Chain A
Amino acid sequence: MNRVANVMDTAPKTAGWDGRTLHQMLDDSEAAFAKSGRCFGLDRLPLKEADPIRFEKIFSRLRGSLVNARETALNISASPIVKELGELCFCLYSPEGDSITLSTGILVHVHTMSEAIKYMLRNDYEDNPGINDGDIFVNNDPHIGNVHTADVQTLVPIYWEGEVVGWAGGVTHVMDIGSNTPGSNAVGPTTRYEDGLYLPCVKCGANDRLFQDHVKRCERAVRTPMYWSLDEKTRLAGCHMIRAAVQALIREEGIDSYKQFIREVLEDSRRSFVERVKQLLIPGRYEAPAFIDAQFADEARLPAETRKDILMHSPFTLSIGAAGRLDVDFEGAGKWGLHSFNCTPSAMAGALWVALTQTIMPNDKVNDGAHFATGLHCPRGSWVNPDTSTTAHGNAWYYLVPSFGGMFRSLGRAFYARGYVEEVIAGYGHDGNILQGGGIDHHGNESAVSNFEMSCIGGGAGTIRDGLDHASVMWNPEGDMGDVEAWEMVEPLLYLGRSVKTNSAGAGRRRGGSGYECMRMLWHTETYELQFVGDGAVFSYPGIFGGYPGSSGYRFALKNNDLEDVFARRAPYPTGDRHSDGRQATDLVRGDVVLDKRATDLPAPFRERDLYLSFMRGGPGVGDPLARIATDVAVDVREEVVSAEMAERTYGVVLEKSGGSVDEAATAARKKALREDRAAKAVPVRAWLAREREVRVMAKDFSAPVADMYRSSMKLSPAWAARYRAFWSLPDSYQV
């Protein structure tokens, strides 16, 4: 007996199945897929075929436990981002790190956590530092598997009789990650070394307890330690609930059935995804590029070499194969930069995931099966796949969100072509503004804030309905802006108003969803640093089928003002900026005006009673605005979604001066005039292209950021350069 025990002690222990290491399991799984094109090489699904009902029962139990873990755990968090706005997500993975099922929430992370698990396996964590029952791992590194550093993941292995049978993963969006500027979407960092706290798949606990050194280290590294600590407990509690649920299921169903199930469910979902693509979409190649600006030329607080205006280029191509395959290609994206907007393939895969769960697959098993049926090309060296790990990623979302607008527009066209008109959505508005900053708050504490009201921006229009007004965002269909009284608990700024943003919705036969705006006043703080984050000089979400984009943003602040005096006189004070020109405030209050299109900037000091306008953007429209039903425009005007002036100018709808009903005769005349005006200006596309080629392209009449953008894309991608030259019929020697 003794001898046997000794042999057992010295034999290498593996946590994988059948004596393999987890790393071997991952290699085997990838090899089987590469060879067969099917998950684990499965050509039949014996468990499902023998008993489809039991198969569904197991799935429904697992998913139920994930949803339950999220609903229960989010109550532990103190952060309004997590508790009120639901910025958390839980997922169950296979031993190799493929997602089996997930809760609702920020679904972008289902795949990012998958990458993190695979990173640990590839780097033989099983050997060192060890992957043991009760261990806890944490990750937030986008180069491993994440979008930006403020999304922090907790990963817990699930053991059954000495084998890893899965992983539980949880992610929360934390309030601050300790980067060189405060807040969870830091715009200040230019390299990894300013991004703040990095936890690149770190073992942070054992025996179900967090290591004290990890806890202390993190608390000292971020500006909001209390929120950090409760968020980490939230993630951990959720992971432990999932683990318990999986173990209970195995006790009932047996380990062999469970193992078979997690294999089959991935292949089953892959097949189902392929079928859906075939059913819902018309095959073809869809192009939908996007752009977003950041004007840093005058940012004195940035290092000298990074002070310039930049324009992101996302040359988005979606290919839908007749056999149901779906490929996304970013060939032509410009070089990564010295800013915090860089993305990684992991982030891009996450975003692809988000778009798919909202559009093609909400009614099906949501798991990594879809990942196996899609391809994603992220050219190396570009901002979607930097060829160095020194890049900053604090606000990767800034580029990521517009770049995937192309996905919604392309799917919209493909749905429409197939006849699924009710599924069309033109995308979303840009997810700004983010009111962000830090300083000493109204409780007298060091603090950082990232206001998540931007999880409710205007949605894109569809073909049979207007866009959803101020209630969702690309990265979270379950948006919520929270209560004024909740935000004022954590931010030293009062709301002087929260209202619909007139003319923010993209015009169209179906208009985009409206945005809204909040006028904020600094309160009970000596000094606080705040910044604006959002698109400014360009719009990032065009409409489709002739619909207009939602309005791009601007920044407005009124500093060193005389509001104290205004209040004392009981004189009217500003509650918004309805005309987007600052007048509503400047007519009433004297002060130093900040009003321009530099809608993303670095934190700057604000003082007591300074005003800050936070404007959440509107969504893009669908179809020609002149085709919009006039009475619908009248309703929009009454609700101040559209101004009477824009109704006339863009929709051609004239309203009665009193009562606001449609003036039929004037409207008919106005529409006629607009159409005649269009006809007068119109030239054949061929002629327009020829003229543009001469006066713009050949003359190289580009603004500096546009020229930089072209140069970068052409240098990095000869293929894209060739396409550009071919489109404009340019000589091979053409360079910008």
Chain B
Amino acid sequence: MEGGMAADRAVREPRILAIDAGGTMTDTIIIDRSGDFVIGKAQTTPEDESIAIARSAEDAFDYWKLPLRDGMGSVVAGVYSGTAMLNRLLERRGQRVGVIVTRGMEDYFKLERGVQTHLGLSYSDRLHVVTHRHSVPLVPKSRIRGVGGRVDMFGNEAIPVYEEDARKAVHDLLDEKVEAICVSLVFSYRNPSHEQAVGRIAEEVMAERGQRVPVMLSSVICPTRLDFPRLNTVVIEAYAAEPSRRQLFRVREKFRDLGASFEPRIMASHGGTISMEAGQLVKTLVSGPIGGVVGVKYLADKIGIDNIVCSDIGGTSFDLALITGGEYALKNDPSIEHFKLNLPLLELDSVGAGTGSFVRINPLSQRIEIGPDSAGSRIGLCYAEGKVDTVSITDCNVVLGTINPDYFLGGEIKIDRDKAIEGVRKQIAEPLKLSVERAASGVIELFEESLRQAVITKVLGRGFEPVSYSLCSYGGGGPLHVGGYTEGIPFRDVLVPAWAAGFSAFGCACADYEYRFERQMDLAIPPKSSAEERHSLGQRINEAWGVLSDEVHAEFAKSGIARSQVRIKPYVRLQYMGQLNDLEVASPVDRIRQTGDFEKIIEAFEETYDRVYARSARSPELGYFVTRLVATGIVDCEKPALPNDALAGETPSDSAFKAVRKIFWRTQTIDARIYQMEELRAGNVIEGLAVVESPATTFVVPPGRRARLDAHRIFHLS
């Protein structure tokens, strides 16, 4: 797909390459110096991802008539994001891992946490206990060993480490032919000495046996509280991330073979990109939906927006994130699929409603039920090859006429409108005693209402007001429904990038080169702490920030980046004493040097707390508790330029106007004007009801609303 709408250029200078390697398709977006881009596609090759990546890059360069080698030679930055690691985890195709835990805890994976049996289920299934299931253990009990010894919550040794247990455990696991050994002991983040002892013994035993497998300590991989999520995290590093690292090295080799000189980076769950050499590659477990948010942040920075809602509609889900004051929030203990984890993940709410969501009528209550299951890539009844027998959201759009059956993915996919009409009639309209059109539009209204609800609660739930936010809509289905799910919400502005369909990949190209390290501290600040107490706490905080900065520098050093190139930012995670949930605040000071510095941090925390949980919940009388300290380090890297087109008049040119089409809107049929997106010019204004079509996106401008295209190829819906 060719993106952007600028005239053909004689000379192309590709600068950035971003890969989105999905389970079925691998997309590569290539962006040139002026911000124009192309997207290439190829079927994913799971056994060796580098093959599909090279093919999709070749496909992309082909649009600009550039040979692959020439194109690669000119690229200066590349970012990879993909689902391979997550799929390896979900399909249980990971390495053969052995695990050493605190004695008595060998049933970790059998017991899991109860919550893992109902994570991610719909509201009704969460109540409906017969739908709950345990996960298949990542590591069978035959490869889990316990070692005697205990550290308590203060970091004191309660039971000495039983070194003989450790020796036997390592022998047993090596006999089991494990490919890696993970060690996760209770409270190791407070006192890692027992884990270190086990690690040392493992090295000795391996030396004795002349064998060598990687040994991973949880106190190194993720030194943070909560033993089960920490165990999950370190085991996933060994189980799924290490094999992915080998795949990524092949991608890098392939690129080098093709003449590339850049060092490909990987999109990580905290929103930055990291090197393939990173110590904790598990941080890249979730990267796909992150890209879009990073892209919005980049756009917002460029055009001067502080607060913006990111909304992404795909085939199966609606993803939402908030950028407030130019920053997105991170979650420390996220749930990914059925796993509780201990790693920073960009805070993203996912609602199980997408364009492929199935629509059914409950036979007893005559209620319309949307999802949670979805036709996904099988689209709906209207796509015969999908072999679907239930109406989907897309079918309803086809019935209404908002989707052009002859121009789905630019006409690549054949859509049968009659099948959609027939399905909606039988499955929805007749049971509800409505006309086919009204039934379809009712479903869409309900669908958009649920998205609209999600948007409102996302903003209000964090204590903010929509009037201080803009909203950006992207993903395959975003521009189609954005009019509906923003209706009546007083956003400052609603943005729809013309390249909405490729926005996630674009977003990856916008990410900083950024490492993030954190450390559990558990420092109490009693309500009436003395100046001395605060001084000594300040010292400990400064020391920890120092250590974390060193960790950041060490990771960059692996890629040959000097300390002087790295910008370090310190953060504090705080809560009221006794609470279990902390909040992260960017520290207003880089070190605690003088009286008052401490108070500045507290002030920043209280301001955030008010916003998130209502002022009535403030509890300074309890004192404060520093749970973790964080340091991030950022290195400048090449980012996409935003196109800056010359402005034309408000009226679109004749060449942009395609046709008039009848569309059923809410309760009546209206003539809608149809435009070709690539033919619109900056400054053009489209009055609703109108549909702007491009091969990958359909953008609907509802009646009474208008969309203006700006110089950066972003529509503003008002």
Within 8 A of A (CB), among B216-259: 225-229
Within 8 A of B (CB), among A220-260: 226-227, 229-230, 233-234, 236-237, 240-241, 244-245, 248, 252
Within 8 A of A (CB), among B589-643: 612-614, 616-617, 619, 622
**Neighbouring B residues of A229 by C-beta, 8 Å:** 619, 622
Contact with A along B128-167 (1 / 0, CB 8 A): 1110111000000100001010101110001110111000
**Neighbouring B residues of A470 by C-beta, 8 Å:** 111, 114
Q: B153 contacts which of A63, A75, A422, A488 (Cβ < 8 Å)?
A: A488
Minimal beta-carbon separation of B482 from chain A (angstroms): 18
The answer for the CA separation of A57 and B450 in the assembled complex, in Å, is 8
Contact with A along B577-598 (1 / 0, CB 8 A): 1111100000000000000000
Q: Are B368 and A56 in contact, with the CB atoms below 8 A?
A: yes
Q: Are A244 and B450 in contact, with the CB atoms below 8 A?
A: no
Contacts A236-B616, A496-B150, A499-B107 given: A78-B115 contact, CB under 8 Å? no
Contact with A along B445-475 (1 / 0, CB 8 A): 1100110011011001110000000000000
**Neighbouring B residues of A595 by C-beta, 8 Å:** none
**Neighbouring A residues of B457 by C-beta, 8 Å:** 64-65, 68
The answer for the CA separation of A248 and B454 in the assembled complex, in Å, is 15
**Chain B residue nearest in CB terms to A485:** B227
Minimal beta-carbon separation of B224 from chain A (angstroms): 10
Q: Are A76 and B127 in contact, with the CB atoms below 8 A?
A: no
**Neighbouring A residues of B159 by C-beta, 8 Å:** 567, 573
Q: B226 contacts which of A56, A208, A485 (Cβ < 8 Å)?
A: A485
Q: Are A575 and B103 in contact, with the CB atoms below 8 A?
A: yes
**Neighbouring A residues of B432 by C-beta, 8 Å:** 52
Minimal beta-carbon separation of B116 from chain A (angstroms): 8
Q: B107 contacts which of A423, A498, A573 (Cβ < 8 Å)?
A: A498
**Neighbouring B residues of A432 by C-beta, 8 Å:** none
A386 within 8 Å of B (CB atoms): no
The answer for the CA separation of A588 and B614 in the assembled complex, in Å, is 54
**Neighbouring B residues of A484 by C-beta, 8 Å:** 105, 186, 227-228
Q: Are B368 and A53 in contact, with the CB atoms below 8 A?
A: yes
Q: B114 contacts which of A462, A479, A486 (Cβ < 8 Å)?
A: A479
Contacts A230-B578, A471-B117, A483-B228 given: A570-B104 contact, CB under 8 Å? no
A643 within 8 Å of B (CB atoms): no
Interface stretch (choices B312-320, B358-366, B394-402, B683-691): B358-366
A67 within 8 Å of B (CB atoms): yes
- How many B residues face the partner with a CB closer than 8 A? 77
Within 8 A of B (CB), among A468-498: 468-472, 477-486, 488-489, 494-498
Q: Are B613 and A477 in contact, with the CB atoms below 8 A?
A: no
Q: A499 contacts which of B106, B118, B228 (Cβ < 8 Å)?
A: B106
**Neighbouring A residues of B123 by C-beta, 8 Å:** 63, 67, 104
Minimal beta-carbon separation of A102 from chain B (angstroms): 10
**Neighbouring A residues of B461 by C-beta, 8 Å:** 68, 71-72, 241
Within 8 A of A (CB), among B162-202: 162-164, 186-187
Q: Tally the A-B contacts, defined by beta carbons under 8 Å.
A: 241
Q: Are A358 and B129 in contact, with the CB atoms below 8 A?
A: yes
B649 within 8 Å of A (CB atoms): no
Within 8 A of A (CB), among B100-114: 103-107, 110-114
**Neighbouring B residues of A478 by C-beta, 8 Å:** 114-115, 118, 126
**Chain B residue nearest in CB terms to A563:** B159
Q: Are A76 and B226 in contact, with the CB atoms below 8 A?
A: no
The answer for the CA separation of A56 and B134 in the assembled complex, in Å, is 33
Contacts A244-B460, A483-B226 given: A77-B580 contact, CB under 8 Å? yes
The answer for the CA separation of A272 and B187 in the assembled complex, in Å, is 51
A276 within 8 Å of B (CB atoms): yes
Within 8 A of B (CB), among A265-280: 268, 272, 275-276, 279
Q: A496 contacts which of B104, B115, B127, B612 (Cβ < 8 Å)?
A: B104
The answer for the CA separation of A489 and B432 in the assembled complex, in Å, is 55
**Neighbouring B residues of A498 by C-beta, 8 Å:** 104-105, 107, 111
Contacts A72-B613, A107-B127 given: A472-B132 contact, CB under 8 Å? yes
Minimal beta-carbon separation of B579 from chain A (angstroms): 5
The answer for the CA separation of A462 and B128 in the assembled complex, in Å, is 13
The answer for the CA separation of A326 and B169 in the assembled complex, in Å, is 58
Within 8 A of A (CB), among B650-695: none
**Neighbouring B residues of A285 by C-beta, 8 Å:** none
**Neighbouring A residues of B450 by C-beta, 8 Å:** 60, 64
Q: Are A53 and B446 in contact, with the CB atoms below 8 A?
A: yes
B488 within 8 Å of A (CB atoms): yes
The answer for the CA separation of A104 and B580 in the assembled complex, in Å, is 20
**Neighbouring A residues of B150 by C-beta, 8 Å:** 494, 496
A519 within 8 Å of B (CB atoms): yes
Contacts A208-B616, A233-B619, A485-B186 given: A477-B128 contact, CB under 8 Å? yes
A-B contact pairs, 30 of them (CB 8 A): A53-B368, A57-B449, A60-B446, A72-B612, A78-B580, A229-B619, A229-B622, A230-B576, A230-B579, A240-B616, A241-B460, A272-B365, A279-B364, A358-B129, A362-B124, A362-B128, A364-B365, A365-B367, A422-B130, A470-B114, A471-B117, A471-B118, A477-B127, A498-B104, A500-B111, A519-B104, A523-B158, A568-B160, A570-B160, A573-B148
Q: A240-B614, A245-B460, A499-B104 are in contact. List 5 more A-B contacts (CB 8 A).
A: A63-B123, A423-B130, A478-B114, A496-B103, A570-B163
Leading 4 A-B pairs by shortest Cβ distance:
A497-B104, A575-B104, A362-B128, A53-B442
